[in-house]
Structure 1
Amino acid sequence: MDRGEVEAVIFDWAGTTVDYGCFAPVQAFVETFRIRGIDITTEEAREPMGLAKLEHIRIILGMNRIHNLWNAAFGKEPDEKDVHALYRDFEGMLFKVLKNHAKPVPGAVELVSRLRRQGIKIGSTTGYTREMIDLVAAEAKKWGYKPDSIVTSAEVPSGRPAPWMCLQTAMNLQVYPLSKMVKVGDTVSDIEEGIFAGMWTVGVLKGSSEIGLSEQEIKEMDPYRLQARMKRAENRFLNAGADFVIDEIGDLWDIIDRINHRLVERKDFFIG
């Protein structure tokens, strides 16, 4: 592979390479609040998706509607003790369902195999803890998906949107400059993570938390409604600064080719 081409791709996990629609954490967040008598919507549960889970809970508690419901139910402001209590319940619920949400999304295994044949290394970052992602990774491996590196938000100074997981992945894979790396994800925080790391960024629509639909729901949805939903998600990615947005994970192959052309043009410009 020419030194002017992409050398590594960093993927998110749930909603990007596994767990089509990113349902495992959503279900766990909704149930965690429900047992306390507070009904949060799936949209509210998804809003901070991609962040470390403790921060995710803090943001949910800070939403006006939920904040008011909490005050009405408990007669006080939510504090850090509440955050950690919610997290403990969330963690327990998530562990119960993770194995059922570790199947790679359609096209992911084939894409990774194709990238590897081109000499491209495969990294991954996640808002899951090490214990969570080890469970998911073990199941995903049975289906044929195994990245070269996994970095969690607990193993760096802070999670998304900070760049540290991406930078640690670059060190693990021994790839530089970072302009030869591509960050791929299904949330705005994935895009911000890649931007702050100085990498190319790609947002994925189908299977993403941004779309929030299962494979069956996508197949059955009216095409015009689906297109409108995808367009809204695409705009969120682009407004966040994404370099590219793709319909589904398998489309990344063509994007890699486009990035390679840009890298070669950039190299030729500086040489010239």
Structure 2
Amino acid sequence: MFDEGSNSIRAVVFDWAGTIFDFGSHAPMGAFVKLFEQEGIRISIEDARGPMGMPKWDHIHTLGQLEHIQAQWLAKFGRLFSERDTDRLYDIFTPMNAASVVEHAALIPGFLELASDLRATGIKIGTTTGYNRQIMNVVLPLVKAQGFVPDNLVCADDLPTSRPTPMGMYKCFLDLDVWPSRSVVKVDDTVPGLLEGYHSDCWTVGVIASGNEAGLTHSQWKSLSEAEKVTLRERVAKRLAAGHPDFLIDTVADLPQTLQKIQQLLNQRK
């Protein structure tokens, strides 16, 4: 038998870049473009954003498999992009991205208030990320200085297999001592991040405006007309559909209303 609180939300697990900090997920995007530029390979911003949410080794390897990038690599180096190339570029990328996050570390507006409200009601705050531990060791003090410390953190390299598998979420269940899975909500702005929630049978909430798919700064989002926001929401929703989100929100500032809906659905199970 579950205990009396089994039909309550026990934890919310957030992604990092594009979800709770770095509005528009700009730090990794710029680092990926610069990484390949240093190799004499041209990639677009759209290329860089495509695999976002994956562990960064997988992200680099996926970029290297794109046909137009493979063609450039073959022309320059006389061979196709390989796993050995991925290993080498990953070692270069990590300090590059760690330096970039310093410039894009601001928390998403409304997140601190949300975190305070969650904790006031006894809801734990977990986190997972496609970043590795070395990069997050730079991020954590930056967000702590702004007033946020997570209850746990699962990095991409903490586990043998990460996103889009559910392993990161399973680690959150253990770290936070929460169960069943439907008492946990996963919030993310990318398909791989949403899938780790979907595959672990959690509620999933996709983030539109502050995320990678929109790619806007906070001021750019605020300056859009309502009609432009509607168009952007529709475009991003189509991209995030592959992650099977249960709900969609603009930013984490809008999460309380969605959590109320989830709690109502849980109450119906009593």
Quote the offset at 1:229 in angstroms. 2.1
Tell me the CA shift for residue 16 of structure 1: 0.3
Letter in 2 for 1:16: T
Q: 2 CA distance for matches of 1:220 and 1:95? A: 30
Report if the CA contact (8 A) 2:95-2:135 is conserved. no
| Secondary structure of residue in 1 paired with 2:154 | strand
Amino acid at match of 1:199: C
Mapped partners of 1:164, 1:243: distance in 2: 20
Aligned residue for 1:125? Answer: 128
More deviation, 219-228/34-43: 219-228
Aligned residue type for 1:220 = S
- SS of match in other structure, 1:126: coil
Secondary structure of the structure 2 residue equivalent to 1:182: strand
Q: Which residue of 1 aligns with 2:209?
A: 206
Map residues 232-247 of structure 1 onto 2, 5 A cutoff.
232-247=235-250
Query: CA shift at 1:222, angstroms?
Result: 4.9
Report the TM-score when normalising by structure 2. 0.95
2:231 is aligned with 1:228 = yes
- The residue type paired with residue 142 of structure 1 is A
1:255, 1:149 → 2: CA distance? 22
CA RMSD of aligned residues (A): 1.4
- Output the amino acid matched with 1:229: L
1:214-253 deviation per Cα after TM superposition (whole angstroms, max 9, x unaligned): 1122233454344212211112223431100001111111
The match for 2:255 is: 252
1:39 to 34, 39, 42: 42
Paired amino acid for 1:42: I
Q: Quick check: 1:4 aligned with 2:7?
A: yes
Counterpart of 2:134, as a letter, is E
Distance (Å, rounded) in 1 between the aligned partners of 2:253 and 2:228 = 23
Match of 1:71 in 2: 74
The whole-number CA distance in structure 2 between the counterparts of 1:134 and 1:89 is 17
Moved more, 15-24 or 2-11: 2-11
What is the letter of the counterpart of residue 36 of structure 1? E
Distance 1:159 1:165 in 2: 6
Query: 2:128 is paired with a residue of what secondary structure?
Result: strand
Give the structure 2 partner of residue 161 of structure 1: 164
- Correspondent of 1:106 among 106, 109, 114: 109
Q: 1:183 aligns with which of 159, 183, 186?
A: 186
Distance 2:7 2:137 in 1: 34
Provide, for residues 118-142 of structure 1, a one-character-per-residue CA deviation record: whole Å limited to 9, x for no partner: 1100000011111211210111011
Match of 1:16 among 19, 24, 28: 19
- Partners of 1:42 and 1:81 in 2: how far apart? 24
Distance in 2 between residues matched to 1:220 and 1:86, nearest whole Å: 37
CA deviations 1:44-91 (Å, max 9, x no partner) are 101111111110011001111111111122121111221111112211
With structure 1 as the length reference, what TM-score do the two structures score? Answer: 0.94
User: Within the alignment, does 1:48 sit opposite 2:37 as a pair?
Assistant: no
Structure 2 SS opposite 1:151:
coil
Q: Is the CA contact 1:9–1:122 (under 8 Å) kept in the aligned structure 2?
A: yes
State which of 226, 241, 265 in structure 1 corresponds to 2:268. Answer: 265
One-letter identity of the residue aligned with 1:227? V
Instruction: Spell out the pairing of 1:189-200 with structure 2 (5 A cutoff).
Output: 189-200=192-203
The aligned residue for residue 137 of structure 1 is 140
Question: In the alignment, which residue of structure 2 is the partner of 1:148?
Answer: 151
Greater shift after overlay, 111-120 or 91-100? 91-100
Residue 115 of structure 1 contacts residue 121 of structure 1 at CA under 8 Å; is this kept in 2? yes
Query: Could you tell which deviates more after superposition, 158-167 or 215-224?
Result: 215-224
Residues in 2 aligned to 1:32 and 1:237: alpha-carbon distance in whole angstroms: 26
Which residue in the other structure is 1:270 paired with?
A: none
Distance (Å, rounded) in 2 between the aligned partners of 1:74 and 1:226: 44
* Structure 1: tracts of 5 or more residues without a match: 268-272
